Amino acid sequence: MLMVDHPPRDACRTREQLDLALAALALEQLVTVVFIGEGVYHCLPPDRRPDSDVSAGFGSLELYDVDRFLIEEDSLLERDLGREKLRFDLEPISRHALRDLIREQDLLL
C-alpha cells in the first residue's frame, strides 16, 4: 500500500512517489494507492493546465491495474472537498476502515 500524503507542486517528490508505485507494479505486486491528508489535492483537476501537472501521472496508474485506488473521505471533508469533482475514479474509504485495511497489507510505503 502506497500512502500519498504530501501536497502537489513538489514536482520531484510527486514524481518519485509515482516511480515507486510503478516499480512495485512492474514487480507484479498488488498495489493499493491511498490519497490522504494534503495528498488528496493531487486528485483535483487543475483549473488551467500548469506547466507540469505531474499529479496527472497518478491517473496512468489506473491503466496499470492498481488493485485499489482509494481516497480517505475524512481528509476530503476536512478540506471542504466533495468527491464529485475528483479527476480519478477513486473509491472512498473512511479513516476507520483505512486503519483496518492497513493491517491486511504486506507492506506500507
Partner 1 sequence: MSVTHLIFATPRTPGFRQALAAVSTGDRLLFMGHGACAVTRTDALTAIGDLEDIHVGVYGPDLESRGLLGKIADEAVMVLDEDGLLAWMTANRLNRTWQ
Partner 2 sequence: MTPALSLAILLSEGPAEDVRGSIARATIRAAVRATHRVLPVLFYSDAAYTLLPCPARDRWLQLADATGATLVACPAAAERRGISVETLGPDTGIYPMGLPAWLGQALAADRLLRL
Instruction: Give the footprint of partner 1 on this chain (CB under 8 A).
Output: 3, 5, 7-9, 36-38, 41, 44-48, 50, 53, 78-81, 85, 87, 95, 98-100, 102-108
Q: How far is the CB of 1 from partner 1 (least distance, A)?
A: 9
Q: How far apart are CA 16 and CA 30, in angstroms?
A: 19
User: Within 6-35, which residues bind partner 2 (CB under 8 A)?
Assistant: 9-13, 15-16, 19-20, 23-24, 26-27, 29
Q: Which amino acid is at 67?
A: D
**Which option in partner 2, partner 1, none does residue 65 bind, with CB closer than 5 to 8 A by kind?**
none
Q: How many residues bind partner 2 (CB under 8 A)?
A: 16
Q: Nearest to residue 58, comparing CAs of 84, 92, 106, 22? A: 22
Sign of the torsion formed by the C-alpha atoms of 98, 103, 104 and 109: positive
Q: Answer for the pair 42, 72: CB distance below 8 angstroms, yes or no.
A: no
| Residue positions counted in the chain | 109
Binding site for partner 2 (CB under 8 A): 9-13, 15-16, 19-20, 23-24, 26-27, 29, 107, 109
